[in-house]
Amino acid sequence: MKHLKYLSYVLRHKWYVFIECCKLGIFWQGIVHDLSKFLPSEWFPYAEHFYGSKAKQWRDSTGYYKPTDTGDPAFDFAWLLHQKRNKHHWQWWILPEDEGGIKIFPMPDKYRREMLADWRGAGRAQGKPDTKAWYFANKDKMQLHPETRAWIERQLGV
């Protein structure tokens, strides 16, 4: 049952993201969005984490969840894989430096568009379609290059 529930969510999410990608002129990104979620290395940990016997409410009232603080090592690793396989995640554009600190790169246009479509689509899939409110509640948790942040905020009418 957990796999059917997860499949239902993933397909709903992908549909809404596809619609948003089309609005933003990135049709192909909408088709290939989050295909890695169907890989066993992501599928099984995600299905168990969100719909398995130990599942709990992971998201806060805005829809945000902190994937690195779950106490679920299998899911944590699956989330890491997902970020590094999908350039529409802001975490993909961060380089930890050997001396400490990080370097943040600007996101190319098609990936920042897909990121925005992902946020909008996820909000719709979860019944929380106010992307601007979600962004304000979570923007300080994101490490975005100033160019990327400025573009996002222009798109959200900030």
pLDDT one-digit tens code per residue, 55-81: 665 556 665 555 556 788 999 999 999
Determine contact, residues 90/115, Cβ cutoff 8 Å: yes
DSSP 47-91: HHHHHSTT----S-TTS---GGGSS-HHHHHHHHHHHHH-TTSGG
Quote the radius of gyration of the chain (alpha carbons, Å): 15
Number of domains comprising the chain = 1
State residue 58's pLDDT score: 54
pLDDT at 1 over 60: yes
Residue 77: domain span: 2-155
Burial class (CB in 10 A: 0-12, 13-18, 19+), 123: buried
18-29 pLDDT, tens digit each: 999 999 999 999
